[in-house]
Amino acid sequence: MVGGRRPPGRVVIPAVGGVREKVVGFLGRARGESAVVAVARLMSAGCSLLIAVISARHLGPAGRGEIVFVLTVSMLGSEFMSLGANVSGRIQILRRAGVAVEDYLGLSIALAFAQAGLMALVFGTVGILVMDLSTMVCILGTLLGIVMFLAFMLVDAAFALRRTLETGVRDLLIGVAPLVPVIAVTAAGRLSVAAVVGLTGLGYLIGGGYLWSVVYRRTGVVRFSRRSWGPILRNGLPVLGGSFGQTLAFRADRLILGVLATSAALGIFSVAATTAELPRLILLPVTQILANRVAGGEITATSVTSLVARLMVGYAIIMAVVGAVGASLVLPIVGEEFAMARDSIAALALGEVLLGCYFVSIAVLTGLGRFRLLPVPAVAGAVVILVADILLVPDHGALGAAWVRVAGFAIMGIIGVTSMLAVLRRER
């Protein structure tokens, strides 16, 4: 070629090595990791949403409400039984604070037995006596709680080993694995609450099993040393206050609607909440990677402020779109039985904007190792949501619960951002 021109009819193919290097370089940056994991979680959530739509249309609001109750109990139990060890262990491993992945895995297995006991207790009492669930649903719910817990703990083990992209594969498996069987069972006319709960558990088992193989190949023998668990648990207790308070703030309205209202009201609210919560799956991997990079010193206190501001503004724009068009997209899919969810979606989208501020600020505090500051915003928001829901849900139902979320998430966002800014000023 002369003068940068090539003869006609010839095609210049880029070197494979060059393309591969660019892809590897992109995936090695925080932006690349976040993009891949976010896409995987969105695809997983899309599968879960399809399962929710199928179960809502074939089982009605009452059946969907029972499924949501089982999932909510399993998620709350997973957060509580983690004792905050998932976050404290991950950050201490990344900060090279004397904690090994082998010790973390041993602690995770030990806590899984406690999770089994908790799930059996809750489903055997509240599930049967209050929610009138069948024995089979309670048994499957207990198993779901166990595999969900282990899959939950393994994510942080993979993050600690810098196997971030593999966590996206786990998320994808959790969503994809149950979808085809649910469709097949529905086509055969045998869809039930027990089938959905059992197949959801199968997805967590497959996803968690994959991530266990990824982590186990890169570690030594799992250790069951209570002395080694001490630092993880001591630093985890403040995290537990934050993570459990956070999960309670996210899930308390579902529990209260199920107990104080009806399964149908819970089913309707869950459709609205799921619509508003879907973009959260984009934000969460970004905040987890942000915390990891801050902990590893790759993002400094002086450079993090502008990044945080961009994340908050971008998430607010996404949620504005959801609030404007979410109802018109979702309600034709789930059916007219869920029409009452329309008024709740816009309110819930506003709440998610405020919650986004909380997530980003808490990620920075976590990465800086300020564990003792984590419980305050989450517990404050959870208390407001719990008390207000108990007062308002019996009379105002799902719409009342939606506006309670706005108030609770506003408190979480304000306290979280204020704490983050105070710490960053001291770090500088």
193 with 137: CB under 8 angstroms?
Answer: yes
Amino acid at 131: M
Amino acid at 6: R
21 with 150: CB under 8 angstroms?
Answer: no
- CA distance linking residue 348 with residue 322, whole number of Å: 10
Helix (H, G, I), strand (E, B) or coil at 5: strand
- Of 200 and 42, more confident: 200
- Contact residues for 216 (Cβ-Cβ < 8 A; gap 6+): 105, 222
pTM of the model: 0.67
| CA-based torsion, 160, 109, 172, 138: positive or negative | negative
- CA distance linking residue 267 with residue 261, whole number of Å: 11
When the pLDDT of each residue in the chain is averaged and rounded to a whole number, the result is 81
Measured CA distances, 339 to 48, 229, 277 (Å)? 21, 50, 18
- Contact residues for 7 (Cβ-Cβ < 8 A; gap 6+): 1
Confidence of residue 12 (pLDDT cuts 50, 70, 90): very low
Confidence of residue 20 (pLDDT cuts 50, 70, 90): low
Amino acid at 404: V
- CA distance linking residue 122 with residue 126, whole number of Å: 6
Is 199's pLDDT higher than 80? Answer: yes
Listed in sequence order, the DSSP H helices in 161-225 are 164-187, 193-216
- CA distance linking residue 230 with residue 403, whole number of Å: 41
What is the structure's pLDDT at 101?
83
Nearest to 212, CA basis, from 161, 145, 144: 161
pLDDT digit string (tens) for 328-380? 777 676 666 666 777 778 888 889 899 999 999 998 988 887 888 888 898 89
Helix (H, G, I), strand (E, B) or coil at 152: helix
Confidence of residue 4 (pLDDT cuts 50, 70, 90): very low
What is the structure's pLDDT at 110?
92
Pick the range with the lowest mean pLDDT from 78-82, 125-129, 413-417: 125-129
Helix (H, G, I), strand (E, B) or coil at 2: strand
Rounded mean pLDDT, 220-230: 80
Confidence of residue 207 (pLDDT cuts 50, 70, 90): very high
How do the domains of the chain map onto residue ranges? 29-427
Q: HSE-up of 46 (CA within 13 Å, CB side)?
A: 8
Kindly compute the dihedral angle of the four CA atoms of residues 41, 243, 273, 74, in this order, to the nearest 10 degrees: 80
What is the structure's pLDDT at 286?
82
403, two tokens: 């506006």
Task: Tell me, rounded to whole angstroms, the distance of Cα 115 from its chain centroid.
Answer: 18
Instruction: Tokens 């193919």: give the residue.
Output: 13
Rounded mean pLDDT, 250-273: 72
What is the structure's pLDDT at 164?
76
- CA distance linking residue 7 with residue 264, whole number of Å: 70
272 with 408: CB under 8 angstroms?
Answer: no
